Structure 1
């Protein structure tokens, strides 16, 4: 079986650890090294063959896009970043995909499917897609692990989301509701309003117009009633 040799670079320790964990869960990926800056990565590439780079963009001293433009041969690249503003530049250097933090394991796998060796059998892919029970979200300059079962509901407030948790203080993260829906399992979570996603397992009561989650009553918009009822 062929494997994809990959290297990771991210200057945020928790983000680096998360991507390492994702890579180690995929049998056809072979993690060769991890770095917290592009300079050390460049030295490694001088003497080692790599198939895939998993890169943050903004790193100390040298950003990843400038670094890639300096290479004679560029491996496949998947960017994993907290910033939308570099997307156009990323695809100018032929990035395979551009993932916004926080990244779910399922979204990571979708990016990898664009690279996957042909001789890796389909049932292996389905095995790798087993659902996780948590996600990492960026809050207060750190990646925070949140268990799906602890989330009561999620509220959109401008460019930010507020995660209301059971028995814990809410967590605020810069993210859109649309992006959040790609990170949480649809088997558990439903959007009921342009401002709310609820954990259906935490609903105490509901009417045609609102649902009770914990002590809070949340409005159901007409266009989202089917999401909740189904």
Structure 2
């Protein structure tokens, strides 16, 4: 009888302990991490078998948006990046100065690329801006951009901060506010659309979920 009572007490302790632990996980917003552990984050894989085989044999480079900018563009853009520590009057003065800085204005429309990363197997994270849809409403062509709202709520980034992608089939799991990591072969080549112009193209192999801030370069 005593043993049964101890077993029941132990079961209750385990039950309530698990409940308390689960509550704590939710309080710390760990539910997302649990979901990531038990579900694959791969959302799309190209049907191009040759491309997949080629990339499986090559080393992948993780790049950020800064890596797409030549050093000359980085220097001039950095002068006018938003800085929350500046006073309102300083920010206004900086904005006025930027409007008359020819080098800065040129950098805003720069199509210069970083030659060293052209043809490389890369991964880069950003937001998808659809250009063209298939009949089933999946995305056929799109831009990858550094920050949410680019080309839609905000002006487009410079061409060398936008990547054009043209899929063989389509990608249906898009959410405008969701960031994704794209993997493939980075190429250069201008593509123009009413939403913006890109200086880079990506021969896409894979799309994964991304749950952090993809733009490590700008201060929004």
Q: Same fold (TM over 0.5)?
A: no
Normalised by the length of structure 2, the TM-score is 0.24
Question: 1 or 2, which has the higher helix percentage?
Answer: 2
Larger Rg: 2
Normalised by the length of structure 1, the TM-score is 0.24
